[in-house]
Amino acid sequence: MTISAPGAARRTHSPTWILATLAFSGIVVSLMQTLVVPLIHVLPELLNTSASTASWVITSTLLAAAVVTPVSGRLGDMFGKRRMILISMAFLVAGSVVCALSETVPLVIIGRILQGAATGAIPLGISILRDELPAEKVGGAISVMSSTMGVGGAIGMPLAAATAQNFNWHVLFWASAVLGALVAIAVAVLVPESPVRNPGRFDYLGAMGLAAGLVSLLLAVTKGGEWGWTSTTTLGLLAASVVVFLAWGFAELRTAEPLVNLRVSASRPILLTNLASVMTGFAMYATSLTVPQLLQSPPETGYGLGQSMVMAGLCMAPAGIVMMLLSPVSARITNRYGPRTTLMVGTVVIASGYLIGAVLMNEVWQIALVSTIIGAGIGISYAAMPALIMRAVPLHETAAANGLNSLMRMVGTSFASAVMTVVLANMTMSFGPALVPTHRAFVVTFLIGAAAALLALLIAVFIPRATTASVVTSPPVAELEPEPAR
């Protein structure tokens, strides 16, 4: 195992440029998640396929991201985090070019899988910040990097919608290819390779087991509404995921160099943080799925606001901007009261936004305000999670641990998609020849989002205020949780 003191590289590399480059990479990667959302209703026509087959353009990216993120984290700890970010960007560029040159759904799905494989760049970037920056800058830098997970998605939707509306849809993917190439160049020039390594054998069996379990679980969750929640396929996949995860966990505990250190991951600070991450990821995606539908519902329903996809995206864009602007605030809360308190503050803000939305959804400005409040809470919460994780794991396992935490958020977003789809699909009314969600359906989705945030708050209450010194190796000052000032 090779470990150097964190922040050693700051003598030759500018912390500002390191942070700016990694934040740029995070925004570009997270933008991929919403890149095709404006196209979802026209993809069947564009690709000459059915709606159910076209939905795999989104599902495939989610599955690839879920499988690759923890794997890239472990490989980053072994072979270099900067190297793995460059490989991630190569996947992103390759996937974008494949999509840009494709007219058929199989090739577009392949391209989207390659794009999803780049998602691991975000937790890798967070780990580099811990390794490379001076201790006093780490807290704020992590807050900025964490906020990019929401910023890219929030600003990406209106940009993607405007591009798709005014140009050929392939332009979206050519643009993403250019952005990925720019990120790769910037990382190669401005970001040093981390000296912190944890060399050893790669756990191929563990990677395959985790992939099989995740694919089975997420396929059942994301496609259950389409296949039927009581169908043989859905129930079979859920059962298979349980069996695979049990066998995988048994094997990981007996592996000398596991893909995921379950003994560390099962410790109270990390386990509770990851559980809170699932619920926060749920709360984040709930608004992304519900708000655009509400904004685009016909005014004739009595509650719809009749906005275009571009306008709906613009209404949600302030949420992404607020996430970035609140990064320094989140860092100050963490430095003074600790990341546990930061997480609790963020979940309270998220719940407040949803509860306000349950009663204020009659005007566009009200929805924009609600979305912004929720975005602010998500930005604060997301900034706290890497700090909670990194104060509780050895320095040489930060990338793998952050990758697992990012995976937990993805699991939360998958469950949010399933739950919100069920609510909006079953609480409907007739509108001409179509069925549309009722006003009550949107109220229920807001209340579910609030409940998820409050559950995350409850979990955060039980996260320990301090971490034993034996677990942490040279943590930055900003990651320790001090006692509140009296």
Hey, where are the domains in the chain? 8-202+259-479, 203-258
Helix ranges, 199-302 (H): 204-227, 232-253, 262-265, 268-296
Q: What's the angle, vertex CA 40, arms to CA 34 and CA 46, rounded to 5?
A: 125
- Three-state DSSP at 2 gives strand
pLDDT (tens, 9 = 90+) of the chain, 486 residues, equals 444 444 444 446 788 899 999 999 999 998 887 788 777 778 888 888 887 788 888 888 888 888 888 889 889 888 899 999 999 999 999 999 999 999 899 999 999 999 999 988 988 998 898 888 887 888 788 888 877 877 777 777 777 778 777 888 899 999 999 999 999 999 999 999 888 777 778 889 989 999 999 899 988 988 888 888 899 999 999 999 999 999 999 999 998 888 888 888 888 899 999 999 999 989 988 887 788 888 888 888 888 888 887 788 788 888 888 887 887 788 888 888 889 999 999 999 999 999 999 998 989 999 999 999 998 998 899 888 888 888 888 777 777 788 888 888 888 888 888 888 888 888 888 777 777 889 999 999 999 999 999 999 999 999 988 644 333 333 333 333 444 443
- Three-state DSSP at 231 gives coil
**CA-based nearest residue to 382, from 417, 331, 314:** 331
Q: pLDDT of 355-393, one tens digit each?
A: 999 998 989 999 999 999 998 998 899 888 888 888 888
Name the helix (H) or strand (E) containing 435.
strand 434-437
What pTM did the predictor assign? 0.82
Q: pLDDT of 117-140, one tens digit each?
A: 998 898 899 889 888 888 788 878
Q: How buried is residue 358: exposed, middle or buried, by Cβ count under 10 Å (0-12/13-18/19+)?
A: middle
- Indicate the angle between helix axes 105-116 and 56-79, nearest 10 degrees: 30
Say which amino acid occupies 134.
P
Q: pLDDT of 8-47, one tens digit each?
A: 444 467 888 999 999 999 999 988 877 887 777 788 888 8
Quote the CATH superfamily of domain 8-202+259-479: MFS general substrate transporter like domains (1.20.1250.20)
Cα separation, 173 vs 190, in Å, equals 25
Q: How buried is residue 58: exposed, middle or buried, by Cβ count under 10 Å (0-12/13-18/19+)?
A: buried
